[in-house]
Chains A and B, each alone.
Chain A
Amino acid sequence: GNSVTQMEGPVTLSEEAFLTINCTYTATGYPSLFWYVQYPGEGLQLLLKATKADDKGSNKGFEATYRKETTSFHLEKGSVQVSDSAVYFCAQGGSEKLVFGKGMKLTVNP
């Protein structure tokens, strides 16, 4: 079945460090890909998405590119802030359901 594998944390970075969170997927066909973020005490929020190969999603300084050849959707940010501390989930799917990775907790220290 469809699945998502992502880097597991927790990860601690210093402010202004570079962030990469790896995500790969297995699927039949070409699903849409998503990154969701869960800030402490809050619900899941969509961070960015891509719906077809080579699409780049971006938001709040985060980027991810849909790579069909490597079945990947890695999340990157050039300079993290303390406010980026959260749990990040990679997901695939569409209107029927989302299949999530296990999530990665990121802590950014000043």
Chain B
Amino acid sequence: EAGVVQSPRYKIIEKKQPVAFWCNPISGHNTLYWYRQNLGQGPELLIRYENEEAVDDSQLPKDRFSAERLKGVDSTLKIQPAELGDSAVYLCASSLNGLGEQFFGPGTRLTVL
């Protein structure tokens, strides 16, 4: 069974440019999470979806970040415009009905120059 898929794995952009990350969760997992992991830190939740509904986006910086999960399967996280401080690894995770273990993808490492 395929795990959580994320793309791209790496992205380098200049500040003020837009960027988007894509995540495809494990088949059948209706709960999807986006985390941000700064260098030397643990991941921090940005947003959680139950199916297509964003049920917790309290930590998402809404002035420049947006996310969608239109059909309740794959999801896109966007930053526009990117700032230097957005350099981090963006992790996607999924779980079955929000119970138990969260399965993480490999992450997208973003570098903003």
Contacts and interface: CB of A to CB of B under 8 A. Distances in A.
A58 to B, nearest CB: 15
A49 B100 CA distance: 9
A42 B106 contact: yes
A43 B107 CA distance: 7
Contacts of B104: 36, 43-45
Interface in A69-110: 89, 91, 95-103
A73 B106 CA distance: 26
A4 B56 contact: no
A97 B107 contact: no
Give the bracket for the number of chain A residues in contact with chain B.
Answer: 10 to 19
B48 A97 contact: yes
Interface string B83-113: 0000000010101011111111111000000
Interface stretch (B12-20, B36-44, B67-75): B36-44
Given A96-B56, A97-B48, A103 B98 contact: no
B77 interface: no
Contacts of B95: 95
Contacts of A4: 42
A98 B102 contact: yes
Interface of A: 4, 36, 42-46, 49, 89, 91, 95-103
17 contacts: A4-B42, A42-B106, A43-B105, A44-B43, A44-B91, A45-B104, A46-B102, A95-B31, A95-B100, A96-B56, A97-B56, A98-B102, A99-B42, A100-B43, A102-B40, A102-B42, A103-B40
